[in-house]
Structure 1
Amino acid sequence: MAEYEACIAGLEAAMALHIQDLDVFGDSILIICQTNGNWKTRDDKLIPYNTYLESLVRKFRNITFTHLSRTKNHFADALATLASMLDISATMEVQPLEVRLQWALAHVNAIEIAARCSDGKPWYTDIKNLILGKGHPPEASGKERRSLQKLAANFVICGEELYRR
C-alpha cells in the first residue's frame, strides 16, 4: 500500500505542476505491472488504490511506467532519504532541486578539490614534474629541493598517471 500511496502522491504532484507527459520509474514490480495492465489486482485492499491510480493516469496526455530493479534505483533511494530528513509544511515554498550527473565518485571529486594548492594545481604537480625531468620549482629552496627529491623517490609514472610505489 505504501508504494501505491507514493506513486499516487507523485502523480498528484505532477498534475499540480500541470505536467502532461510523464515517465514514471519505480522499483515496485507490482505497481508497474498492475498499472501497465500486465497483472490483475486481486487483493481487496489494493483494488481502491489501483482504481484511483488508473483514474489519475487517464488525466495525463502521455505517461509510461518503467520498472527499475532496486539495485539500479540509487537515485530514488537518495531522494527518499533526503525527503525523510525534511519537515515541510503546506505553506512552505520548496525550491527546485538541481541534479547533476557526476562521472567520478564523490570522494574522488572531494579529494581533487581538497588537494589543490593555492596556485590551483594538484598537490603532486612538483613530484610529477621532477620525475618527468622538468626539474625543481624555481622558487624552491635547497631544503625544499632535497625533500621533494626524497618524496619523488616513492612515486612512479605509468602512462599519464602518478602512482605511489
Structure 2
Amino acid sequence: MDTLNFDGSCDPNPGGIMGFGWVINWSSGKAPTEGSKEKEPSPSNTNNVAEYTALKEGITNYLKLGGKGPLQVYGDSKLVISQMSGKWKVKNQNLAKIKEDTAAIIKKNELKVKFTWVPREQNTTADRLALPRSRQTKSSSSPSQASSVKPSDRKFVADVNSTSVSSNLRLKINELNTEPSPGFKSFANLKVGGFDSFSRKKLDTLQKEAGPKASSIVEKEFKGNSSQQASALRWMLRGLSTDLAVRKVKVDIELSKKKKR
C-alpha cells in the first residue's frame, strides 16, 4: 500500500507564514517523493489550517504523480486525522472548507484512503519539510530562536478521548492541545459548564490520580495554594496537556483579579 505522511506549520501562529510538507512512499519500490510549499502571512493562517492544507496538497500531488491507491495517510495532527476519519465534528469554517475540498478530491478520484495518527517522532521528514524557509534558516543558525512549540512535544497525564468529559469540552480541549500558542481568549472560554467527575475531587485524590510528576509541576507553579494546584490537576486529568493546564489556571487567576478591580 502506498503511504503519505503530511505536516503543516504556521509561524507565528496565528497569522504567520504557513509551511506544508508531505512524503509519499510507493509500494512499487520506487524512491520516495517529497514535497513542500509555503503561503505568505495572512490573518486567516493558523497551524490547523496549515495541517489541513498540507494533507490536501499531499493527496493532490499523489494523484498527479499517478497514484491510484489504496493510500495510507499518516499525520501527527489528531485534529485533522480525527476529523477526516469522521470521529470529530468540524466547527471551524475555514477548516470545514479545506476538509470538504479534500474529501471531494478523494471521492472524485475514487481513492481509497485510511487515516492514522502518529506521534511526531514518526513524522520527522514531513515535519522538516513543513517548516517555512525562514524558520529553517533560523533553526539552523540558532536553535534557541525557534518560536513555536510543536503540539506533539506536549506531555499529558490523560488522553482526552478516554476521559469522562462532555463531547463539547473534549472538542475544545483537543483544539487547544493541537495549537502551538493558544491565546488568552481560548483559555478564558474553556469551561466545564457545570460540574463533572473531577470537580469535587480533593487535592490528595487528584495528586494520586495525576501522579508525582504532574503534582510536582503544580506545586512549583502554584506554591502554597492548594486550590490552584487542584484546578491545574483537574484540567490535566480531563486531558489538557500539562503546560496548557498550568496556563489555563494562570488565565483564570488573572480573570479573577480583573473582576475584583
TM-score after normalising by structure 1: 0.45
Q: Which has the larger radius of gyration?
A: 1
TM-score (norm 2): 0.30
